[in-house]
Amino acid sequence: MKNRVLMQGNEAVVEGAIKAGMRFFAGYPITPSTEIAEQSAVRLPQVGGHFIQMEDEIGSMAAVIGASAVGTKSMTATSGPGFSLKQENIGYACMTEIPVVIVDVQRSGPSTGLPTSPSQSDVMQARWGTHGDHSIIAISPSSVSECYNLIIRAFNLAEKYRTPVIFLMDEIVGHLREGIEFDDEAEVEIIERKMKQRPDTLHLPYHVCEGDDVPRFHLTGYDIRYNITGLAHGPDGFPTNNNEVAGQLVTRLMKKIENNIDDIVEVEEKFCDDAETVIVCYGGTKRSVMSAVEELRAKGKKVGYFRPITIWPFPEKQLSALPKSVKNIIVAEHNYGQILLEVERVIKDRKIGFVGKVDGTVITPSEIVKAVEEVK
């Protein structure tokens, strides 16, 4: 049965996460993400799951890693300053390859910044917030429906590639209420992590089977004793100073994402086929761009938009493939120019403009229209 309801973006994240199999949430409330913790506290007990409000963000991140290690799909949610606190343990999850989903409903910073205002200034923190070479996946929704659908995808990718996945939201979408349609009969793909089958590898938590990109999982703390560490480790999970083993490990951590870009990266393109100007945007900014593009098209302007749905890894292949008609690219984002750096890295032969905001207000469609009309 189809059912259309009014829902907030933050609430839709929780519903989607539960659909994906989330049964544990640990967090520390922070605006503008708080409704995710509140709704998890209400909903998880109803489906046999658990919610814990931890002492802080560091503890929350540790708790979700622990819960996932024993086989429970887990999520935490936060905003800028809390996301900073989670970074050390996000690195631990990268290194130990424990699937977790971290929601960051961004606010402006630095530090505690503007708690209740929109921002997209954690784009680079999502990529490089934790130290060391590592790969990461980040996904950014633009509507309440996408909060639901894409958080399911975030869990699926976390399980498939045994990696933390950042669900990079903004206040525009997190606090937005709009209609969302649920269809009981729609089939939803839910991916579970691959479990070890071969008895001879059960005690080798980081042994990778031929043809696999990641080690298969054996639940922690049940029968076989094995070691998990943030130190460089070989197949047996124990720390090592062996340079060859350490080099192979970090290389594999990078390659498991790099080699599967086509499976991981999603973009949305509209009106790009004949466009002279393309606006690059993501998350809540897409809503401003969408209205601006409609207005400009009505005036006969050849303009379209390109939206990375997957922010990290950055969709460089898709961006490079924009048609030759595109002479100008304008990046629109609620920060001082973060995805702009990526666009400048990828695009060398076209003019690149920028519409950014760091004052806590939303980029309006008219500001984008103006930027497009000013292109020489």
Residues making contact with other proteins (CB under 8 A): 4-6, 31, 115-117, 172, 175-179, 284, 287-288, 290-292, 294, 362, 364-366
Residue 5 vs 341, nearer CB to other proteins: 5
Q: Are 275 and 305 in contact (CB under 8 A)?
A: no
Type of residue found at 327: K
Residue 264 vs 369, nearer CB to other proteins: 369
Distance CA 366, CA 8 (A): 26
Distance CA 123, CA 349 (A): 24
Residue 6 vs 231, nearer CB to other proteins: 6
Residue 106 vs 130, nearer CB to other proteins: 106
Q: Are 216 and 36 in contact (CB under 8 A)?
A: no
Minimum distance, C-beta of residue 322 to other proteins, in the bound complex (Å): 22
Distance CA 373, CA 278 (A): 12
Minimum distance, C-beta of residue 86 to other proteins, in the bound complex (Å): 22
Minimum distance, C-beta of residue 16 to other proteins, in the bound complex (Å): 19
User: Phi first, then psi: what are they for 75, rounded to 5°?
Assistant: -145, 150
Minimum distance, C-beta of residue 159 to other proteins, in the bound complex (Å): 32
Minimum distance, C-beta of residue 187 to other proteins, in the bound complex (Å): 25
Residue 285 vs 335, nearer CB to other proteins: 285
Distance CA 374, CA 354 (A): 12
Minimum distance, C-beta of residue 173 to other proteins, in the bound complex (Å): 8
- Within 10 angstroms of residue 295's Cβ, the number of other Cβ atoms is 16
Minimum distance, C-beta of residue 48 to other proteins, in the bound complex (Å): 25
Residue 193 vs 287, nearer CB to other proteins: 287
Specify the residue for token string 């922070």. 30
Residue 292 vs 319, nearer CB to other proteins: 292
Residue 1 vs 211, nearer CB to other proteins: 1
Minimum distance, C-beta of residue 343 to other proteins, in the bound complex (Å): 22
Residue 237 vs 284, nearer CB to other proteins: 284
E strands, 34-188, are: 50-53, 74-78, 100-106, 137-139, 164-170, 177-183
Query: Long-range pairs for 256-263 at CB < 8 Å and ≥24 separation?
Result: 256/135, 256/161, 256/162, 256/163, 256/213, 256/214, 257/135, 257/136, 257/137, 257/161, 257/163, 257/313, 258/135, 258/313, 259/213, 260/161, 260/213, 261/313, 261/317
Nearest by Cα to 125 from 174, 84, 179: 84
The Cα angle at residue 87 between residues 81 and 89, in degrees rounded to 5: 130
3-class DSSP state of 217: strand
Which tokens go with 374? 């000013």
Minimum distance, C-beta of residue 268 to other proteins, in the bound complex (Å): 13
Tell me the residue length of the chain.
376
Minimum distance, C-beta of residue 18 to other proteins, in the bound complex (Å): 21
Q: Are 102 and 60 in contact (CB under 8 A)?
A: no
Residue 66 vs 82, nearer CB to other proteins: 82
